[in-house]
Amino acid sequence: MQYAMSTILGRALPDVRDGLKPVHRRILYAMHGLGLQPESGYRKCARVVGEVLGKFHPHGDVAVYDALVRMAQDFVMAAPLIAGHGNFGSIDADPPAAMRYTESKLAPVARDALLADVAMDTVDFVPNFDGNEQEPVVLPARLPILLLNGATGIAVGMATNIPPHNLGELTDACVALIKDPELPEADLFKIVPAPDFPSGGTIMGLAGARKMYTTSNGSVTLRATTHIESIAQRTRPPRNAVIVTEMPYMVNKAALLEKIAALVNEKKLDGIADLRDESDRDGIRVVIELKRDAVPQVVQNNLYKKTQLQTSFSGNMLAIGADGLQPQRFTLRALLDSFLAFRFKTVRRRTAYELAKVQARDHIVEGMLIALARVEEVIELVRGSKDNATARQHLTNKDFGLSTEQADAVLALRLGRLTKAEEIKLKKEHTDLTKEIKRLLGLMQDDESVRQVMVKELLELKAKHAVPRRSIIKKDEGELNDEDLLANDNSIIVITRSGYIKRMPLEEFQAQRRGTRGKAGAKLSDPGDEVAQFFTCRDHNTVLFVSDRGVAYGLRAFQVPTASRTAKGVPVPQVLPLSADERISSVIPVEEFKDDEYLVLLTKRGWIKKTSLAAFQSLTARGLTIISLEDGDELLWVKTCTEADSIIIGTQQGMAVRFAASADQLRPSGRTSRGVKAMKFKPGDYPVDIDILPGADDQELPDGKSLVAVTVQGYGKRVGADEFKIQRRGGMGVIATKFKTKRGAAQDALCALRVIANGDQLLLSTAQGTIVRQPAATVSEQGRTATGVRVQKLDEGDEIASIAVVHEDFLEGEDADEGAAPTPTAEAVEVA
């Protein structure tokens, strides 16, 4: 325990008063003793180390030199205390040159803020290790150096890790606390919002700093300063690059580049084509060149997540207390209060020292003025004395009344000092000394005067040494979310009837001509399995998975596992907590939960309801009941709409009804309601699809939009929306399509009825998992009673199971595929 306390108090932890460990304090005091002031020349570091070892610090020379080097590194110290000349290391962890090559002297801030008052009895001195020298217990700091430069130290059973701060902010905080000791913490945190690291960087959010300042422990997230540049290539088009200009605090740049290169080689970082360090004496510049298809923001976020381009500084504000006897945890306020209390004592002790000197000088001046007033008598007395002792005795008798010190000063006077002008000068000096004594006595008696002196000196130091904040603060920024690490790409999600799910890039399926067979999009688990749900979305979308039992589950699209075209996928229960007899019946991707949008739900028996979309904003993968179902009924379709839209429902026998989504036709209801009847069905008929048309009137849809009807036998057509007049909900509707083939004894059936635009593309999936992608404009436009044209060639026994619309905005920026069919003109479509 004795050795542990010796380590804690005498080696490993800084003192809250001057913010220094013993080795740093001894180095600075030794340099002060050698006269290595900022105005003087440099001296070999070996000379300084020898002075420290010989007089104050009987330890290894390597430890002393390492401490000296650290105080000279501007990428470690916010305000370096030593000015170095030579190689003092680098941010790449290059070692400094040997002490026989480097030179050093005190930095201005060390002289002004730590050593200016050291010879004025402001602090206690103790004997050194051999008793031949005296060294200060602490230095009379004028700034909270512990916060300014931070500190790290590992003692026995405890450690400290305090980040550096901005000098200007610290002085402002000290001034504010001097003027108002009860300053609210919120106001204090506005003055000192977060650490300020000498290497710059960006502090992500203030929550970690607030916790550290209030509890003494906290983690500050620090991110490198980066930007995106376009790098010109000699023979190729320019490439994007992530440029790093500032590193997080204490991050080894060379090791970081090696780590990035290793991650790229291990395929753990995608999108990086080249990596080079272009740093020079003007600053840091690391170029991370990207591949042509890489999304710069996604690559940048992955670099933050997987490398030290983003780090956390774990603060632990522990230091030796103001009594110098035991370690103590400090909050920001407690640390500043301890420093200010120490500073108050040093100013008071300095005042006492100055007062004693001024009073002593005034005492001498008074004696000299008495002697000058009786100069002839003094001369005669001195001339009549046989020696100095006799003269001193005559001057100190009651005739003159001088003290011994005054008598010695009079005897030391030269004849030239006995002139009238000299007497005038002494009288003026006496007047000035009297004023100074009065001022100093005021400081000794009035605490407020001492505080004013503290404020004045703090502001002077701020004006002389303050620098702008280096670390930028981004408020309300936290950890990177998963979507920050993934591009918002277009994907296809496929769910099979037997309960398998997977996500594939849309680019897997090139556009083909109408009537082609397509390519495999899903490997089915058994011959009787088929594709049940099939849709397009963006990877950042929230996807609402709705089960046939009326339960909705919320999931981000990127959380669905990816798989190849021919893979089976993973069981849905691995992604969503479905019960054994529950299956996904409808899926809808949502980009934004708007207050004026609604979910329209349609069941197998034709019950329909409308519920506000905002009610599902907090939906999670745990699920939420969204409709009450009667026995034997299932929830099969979910769409989004607004009050200004209209709803169209298609049936298996080719009928369709269109009615307004407004409240007078379909009023909003709660999550647990059953809904109302959507339409009247013929015997044996039932709904097979539902879609939303923009606009609640009979006019033609805007932007070249129309309806596409596709049958299970692979026939389809486009129909003008104006052919479906607005009716009242609950009617039987009109014919949407007629059928051209027979399926055994049964007629062909309607599979899907969707709203499309000329620039959209269709994705058709068969029950056996074959998918074809084709431009919507290649499907002929016909009337309601037409049978359509072949849109997909089917294998024997196969049929169309589902279609998905790839909207035009999904296709923006997508590279044209070599196999894609050109979008036909209107004349070509008419001919077809």
- Kindly report, residue by residue over 448-486, the tens digit of the pLDDT: 999 999 999 999 999 999 999 999 998 755 555 555 556
Residue 502 has pLDDT above 70, yes or no: yes
Q: Which of 101, 304, 553, 715 is catalytic?
A: 101
> What is the mean predicted confidence (pLDDT) over 297-324?
91
Q: Measuring CA to CA, which residue among 647, 654, 724, 710 is closest to residue 678? A: 647
pLDDT for the residue numbered 323: 86
> What is the mean predicted confidence (pLDDT) over 395-423?
83
Residue 663 has pLDDT above 90, yes or no: no
pLDDT for the residue numbered 519: 56
For the stretch 70-110, pLDDT in tens is: 999 999 999 999 999 999 999 998 999 999 999 999 999 99
Contact status, residue 658 vs residue 704, Cβ threshold 8 Å: no
Residue 189 has pLDDT above 80, yes or no: yes
In this structure, which topology does domain 486-831 adopt according to CATH? Neuraminidase (2.120.10)
Half-sphere exposure of 461 (CA within 13 A, CB side): 30
Q: Are strands 570-571 and 635-641 parallel, antiparallel or unpaired?
A: unpaired
In the chain, domain spans: 2-155, 223-313, 335-465, 486-831
What's the pLDDT band for 812 if we cut at 50, 70, 90? low
For the stretch 123-172, pLDDT in tens is: 999 999 999 999 999 999 999 999 999 999 998 888 999 999 999 999 99
pLDDT for the residue numbered 485: 58
What's the pLDDT band for 525 if we cut at 50, 70, 90? low
pLDDT for the residue numbered 179: 94
Contact status, residue 119 vs residue 275, Cβ threshold 8 Å: no
- How far, in whole angstroms, is CA 115 from its chain's centroid? 39
553 is catalytic: no
CB neighbour class for 585 (10 Å; exposed up to 12, middle 13-18, buried from 19): buried
For the stretch 542-564, pLDDT in tens is: 888 888 888 888 888 888 888 87
* Average pLDDT value over all residues in the chain: 86
Residue 522 has pLDDT above 60, yes or no: no
What's the pLDDT band for 809 if we cut at 50, 70, 90? low
Q: Measuring CA to CA, which residue among 687, 575, 709, 681 is closest to residue 637? A: 687
Residue 700 has pLDDT above 70, yes or no: no
What's the pLDDT band for 828 if we cut at 50, 70, 90? very low
pLDDT for the residue numbered 476: 56
R_g of the chain computed on alpha carbons:
43
Same fold, 2-155 and 223-313: no
pLDDT for the residue numbered 810: 58
φ, ψ for residue 584 (rounded to 5)? -75, 125
Q: Domain 335-465's class?
A: mainly alpha
pLDDT for the residue numbered 813: 47
In this prediction, what percent of the chain has a pLDDT beyond 90? 44
What's the pLDDT band for 690 if we cut at 50, 70, 90? very high
What's the pLDDT band for 824 if we cut at 50, 70, 90? very low
CB neighbour class for 373 (10 Å; exposed up to 12, middle 13-18, buried from 19): exposed
In this structure, which topology does domain 223-313 adopt according to CATH? Gyrase A; domain 2 (3.30.1360)
Residue 759 has pLDDT above 60, yes or no: yes
CB neighbour class for 428 (10 Å; exposed up to 12, middle 13-18, buried from 19): exposed
Three-class DSSP category at 697? coil
What's the pLDDT band for 566 if we cut at 50, 70, 90? confident
Round to whole Å and give the CA distance between 201 and 226: 9
In this structure, which topology does domain 2-155 adopt according to CATH? Topoisomerase II; domain 5 (3.90.199)
pLDDT for the residue numbered 256: 94
